[in-house]
Amino acid sequence: MVWNPTPYTIVGVASAVLFFVITAVGRKHRSQSAAKAFLALITAMGGWVLCYAIGLGFTTLDAQLVWQRSALAIGGIVPSLWFLFAVQYTNRGVWLTPTVRALMIVDPLVFGLLTLTNPTHGLVWSDPVLVTYGSLHVVEFAFGPAYLLHLAYTYVVTPVGFGLLLFSAVRSTLYRTQAGLLLVGAIPPLVANTTFVLGIEPGVIPSLDYTPFAFVVTGPCFGLALFRFDLLERVPVARKQIVADADDGFVVLDQDLRAVTANPSAERILGGPIEGDRIAGRFPADEFALDTVSGTTLTTVVGGQQRAYDVTHSTLSGDHGRTVGYVLQFRDVTDRHTYQQRLKVANRVLRHDLRNRMNVITGWADELAGHESEDVRVAGERITATADELIELGEQVRLLVETADYAGRPAESVDLGAHVGPLVDHVRDAHPEATVETERPGETTVLVPHPRLLTISVESLLENAVEHNDADRPWVKVTVEPASETGDYVLLRIADDGPGIPEAELAALREGSETPLKHGSGLGLWLVHWTVTASGGTVSFEEREPRGSVVTLALRPGD
C-alpha cells in the first residue's frame, strides 16, 4: 500500500485545515444560539474533505475504499447539520418537531453504519473499481439503494436550509451579509454533488467527486461570515435583548424598520405577531421616526386593562460601528403613570381647595382674634397659626410634586454663587432682623437636573434657619467651597445659631422612611434630601458649637 499525495490531496488537506481552524476559533462562541450546529457542520465538512483527500493519495483499491467509507460516513451528517443550523439561525425552532428531529438523527446514523459496513452488504455502492488518470487513482462504483435514499433525504433538507437563508437575506438587512456569505459558500459543493450524482462530468477526471474540493470556496466564505461579519454574535446580540419572559416589550428592527423578531410582551402591546411587518403600522402617528417615538409614552389596552409604556430605542452595530438594526423597548410604567396622575390631582387639591378653605378659616380666626374675650382671642391666634402651618405644608407638597417632575432629566451646569445670591437677598429682605452672611468664590458651577431643584433646597434651608431660630437676631452663614478644595464635590454649607435640628427629623432621614412612631414635623428636610440626591449629591447634618447646626450639600461640579 503506497501513499502518493497528488495536488488534489494537497488542496483537500489545506481546505480541511481551514475548516478546523474556523472550528477552533469559533469555539469561544459555542454557548450562543446556532453556534453548536454551525461548529459541528464545519467540523463535519472538514472531516469529509480530509478523509477523501487522504484516500486519493493511495494507489490500491482496498486502501482507497477504507478512506472513501470514512469520508461518506462523515459527509452523511452534513445535510442534517446544515438544516439544523439554518433553522436555528433564522429563529425557526418550532420546525424541529419530534418527527423532524428523529429523521435528522436516523438518516446520518443509518447511512453511516451502512457505509462503514458496505463490504458485507453492498447497499451503499457496488462494483467498485480503481481508475487511473496519470498519477491520480480514483474509485468508480455504482450507487446502491441506501445511497439513493440518503440522496433523496439530502435533496429535501438542503434546499429547505437554502430557502431559509435566502429568505433571511432578502427580507432583513440585519442578516443580509451573513446569510449571503453562507449561501455563496454552500452553493459550490451542492452543485458539485449534483453533477457527480447525475453523472455529469465537469472536469478532466470523470470519476472524481468534486464535492469535497468545492469546500475550498465554502471555507473562506464561512470564515468571512464568522470573523468579519460576526456570524455567531449578531443574532445573539439581538436575542440577548429579547427576553421571552420579560414584562417589558422588545422588538428587533432591521435598517428598514421592519420587525425581525419580538418577544411575547411586545406582541401583546402592539396587538399581535409583528415579525416581517413595518413597525410604523403599529403606531397611531401618521409619520413614524425612531427619534420621534423614542422618549414618548404609549397608552394601550393589554389583557383588558389600560397600560402605559415608555418607548425607547437603541442601535445594533456591526463591523466598524456600522448600524445593522435597532432594538425598540416598551417599558411598563403603568404604576408610575397612575401614581403621577394621582399625585397631580392631590397637588391641585392641596394648592387650590385646601388653600382656599384655609384662607376662609384664617379670615374667621382673624375675627376671633379681635374679640373682647382674651380666651377667644388666644383661640383665634392658635387657629390662625395652625392654618398658616397647613398652608405652608400644602406649599411643600406642591414643591414635592415639582421635584418629581424635574428628577431624571439630563444634568445642566449652574453657577452656584450667582444662583444663591438672589435667594440670600430675598431672605434678608423678608427678615431684616436676621444677619445672613455669605462667603463664596466668584464662579463655581454645579450639575443639577434643573436649576429649580437647587432653588427649592437652598431656599428651604435658609427659611428654616431663620424662621425656626429662637434668637432675637438670628444668624445664618452661607459658604461655598469649590471642588478643587474639597475633592470630588462642591460643598454648600448653611450654618445657623438656632436650636438645632430635632433628632426625630434626622432619624427619619437616616432610615430613609418615616414610621408612625418616628416621623418628622414637616417636609422641609425631605425636600432638601430629595432635590439634592436627584442631582447626584448628598446632604449631611452636623451640630455647631456652641449652638446651632450646619447643613452641607455636596454637589457634583459642573463643566
List the one residue out of 235, 255, 242 whose CA is nearest residue 324: 255
Per-residue b/e over 77-97, b at no fewer than 16 CB within 10 Å?
Answer: bbbbbbbbbbbbbbbeeeeee
Q: Cα 221–223–224 angle (5° rounding)?
A: 65
Average pLDDT over residues 372-390: 76
Report d(CA 47, CA 73) in Å as an integer. Answer: 10
Residues, the chain? 559
Which pLDDT value is given to residue 545? 86
End-to-end CA gap in the chain: 81
Average pLDDT over residues 271-299: 78
Contacts of 399 (CB under 8 A, 6+ apart): 456, 460, 523, 527
Q: Please state which of the ranges 205-209, 238-242, 464-468 shows the lowest mean pLDDT.
A: 238-242
Report d(CA 444, CA 447) in Å as an integer. Answer: 11
Which pLDDT value is given to residue 240? 46
- Inform me whether the pLDDT recorded for 224 exceeds 50: yes
Helix (H) or strand (E) holding 534: helix 524-534
Average pLDDT over residues 33-48: 82
Average pLDDT over residues 474-497: 84
pLDDT band at 139, cuts 50/70/90? confident
- Inform me whether the pLDDT recorded for 557 exceeds 90: no
Which pLDDT value is given to residue 231? 55
Q: Is the pTM of this model over 0.85?
A: no
Which pLDDT value is given to residue 367? 72
Report d(CA 246, CA 291) in Å as an integer. Answer: 24
Which pLDDT value is given to residue 515? 43
Q: Please state which of the ranges 162-176, 310-324, 416-430 shows the lowest mean pLDDT.
A: 162-176
- Return the number of other C-beta atoms located less than 10 Å from residue 371's C-beta: 13
**Best mean pLDDT range from 128-137, 209-218, 322-331, 504-513:** 322-331
pLDDT band at 181, cuts 50/70/90? confident
Q: Residue 374 corresponds to which cell in the numbers above?
A: 382674651
Report d(CA 162, CA 249) in Å as an integer. Answer: 31
Compute CA distances 555 → 199, 419, 442, 464, whole Å: 82, 14, 17, 20
What is the distance of C-alpha 367 from the center of its chain? 65
Helix (H) or strand (E) holding 168: helix 145-171
pLDDT tens by residue, 64-97: 888 889 988 998 998 999 899 888 877 777 888 8
Residue with the bigger pLDDT between 110 and 169: it is 110
- Inform me whether the pLDDT recorded for 234 exceeds 50: no
Which pLDDT value is given to residue 513? 47
Q: Please state which of the ranges 62-76, 193-207, 471-485 shows the lowest mean pLDDT.
A: 193-207
pLDDT tens by residue, 306-321: 888 888 888 877 545 6
Which pLDDT value is given to residue 371? 74
H-only helix segments in 199-288? 211-227, 231-240, 264-270
Q: What is the mean pLDDT of the chain?
A: 78
Per-residue b/e over 509-535, b at no fewer than 16 CB within 10 Å?
Answer: beeeeeeeeeebeebbbbbbbbbbebb
- Return the number of other C-beta atoms located less than 10 Å from residue 315's C-beta: 11
Percent of the chain surpassing pLDDT 70: 76
Report d(CA 244, CA 264) in Å as an integer. Answer: 6
Residue with the bigger pLDDT between 327 and 199: it is 327
Which pLDDT value is given to residue 247? 73
Contacts of 479 (CB under 8 A, 6+ apart): 438, 439, 440, 491, 492, 493, 494, 495
Q: What are phi and psi of 27, to 5 degrees?
A: -60, -25
Average pLDDT over residues 481-507: 81
8 A C-beta contact, residue 175 and residue 261: no
Which pLDDT value is given to residue 54? 87
Which pLDDT value is given to residue 477? 92
Q: Please state which of the ranges 81-85, 285-289, 442-446 shows the lowest mean pLDDT.
A: 285-289
pLDDT tens by residue, 396-407: 666 666 666 666
Average pLDDT over residues 385-397: 69
Residue with the bigger pLDDT between 97 and 335: it is 97
Residue with the bigger pLDDT between 206 and 397: it is 397
The long-range contacts involving 16-24, CB below 8 angstroms and separated by at least 24 positions, are: 16/46, 16/47, 16/49, 16/50, 16/53, 17/46, 18/46, 18/219, 18/220, 18/223, 19/43, 19/45, 19/46, 19/49, 19/215, 19/219, 20/46, 22/219, 22/222, 22/223, 22/226
Which pLDDT value is given to residue 115? 92
Q: What are phi and psi of 356, to 5 degrees?
A: -65, -40
- Return the number of other C-beta atoms located less than 10 Å from residue 255's C-beta: 15
Average pLDDT over residues 184-198: 73
Residue with the bigger pLDDT between 155 and 288: it is 155
Contacts of 392 (CB under 8 A, 6+ apart): 522
pLDDT band at 499, cuts 50/70/90? confident
Which pLDDT value is given to residue 110? 94
